[in-house]
Amino acid sequence: MPSQDDIQYAMETTRVLHEPDHRIQTFGETRFDFQLISEPMDQVGTVRIRTGEVEAMKPRILRPEAYREIELEGFDESARARLEAMVEKLKAQGHDLAFLQYGFRFKRIAVNEEIIHDSIEAVRERLLEDIRRTGNPSRAIIEGVDDTWEISILKFSFEMILRSHAINAFDFKRKGLL
């Protein structure tokens, strides 16, 4: 289990070297391929390349009615009424309380690993040249930390949510769903 410091270090040092050409689809699932490069801590001049897939489920709209399903364990009986009153007040003030919920499926079974005996700079350049040549629109190239590589994939996933959110919200509004 990685420590908080390990997670923080992975979050700070992970870099997306190449983003997919598209964002998370508004009305369907989206698949991204990834190649994650990292240097094993105990092997100088060695790079591990992990190849796999991340699937983003289609965004769901959560409306204010969903707040009624929130469990209020440990609160007194008036808590439910106060929560509902707060939601109604915010709605009356013109706040749109609907928001988008994103989900990801990380297919660990599809992850393959390859060890390359070369510098990370050389491997990075070969992968970037390969993506320029092949043009795979759904591939991401990520540089991360070997021991906490899953954190690097999660960071990439969150970044895709942030980049897709405005487009998805626009699509839902255009269709009259938000």
The confidence band for 130, taking pLDDT boundaries of 50, 70 and 90, is: very high
32 vs 141, residue with greater confidence: 141
Contact call for residues 69 and 43 (beta carbons, < 8 A): no
If we measure between CA atoms, which residue out of 112, 138, 176, 171 comes closest to residue 55?
138
Separation between Cα atoms, residue 108 and residue 117, nearest integer Å: 24
Average of per-residue pLDDT across 166-174: 86
For 135-161, write each residue's pLDDT tens digit: 899 999 999 999 999 889 888 988 888
| Residue 13 pLDDT | 94
Q: What is the mean pLDDT of the chain?
A: 83
Residue 146 CA from chain centroid, whole number: 19
**Predicted structure pTM score:** 0.75
Structure tokens at 119: 């510098």
The confidence band for 58, taking pLDDT boundaries of 50, 70 and 90, is: confident
Residue 67 pLDDT more than 80? no
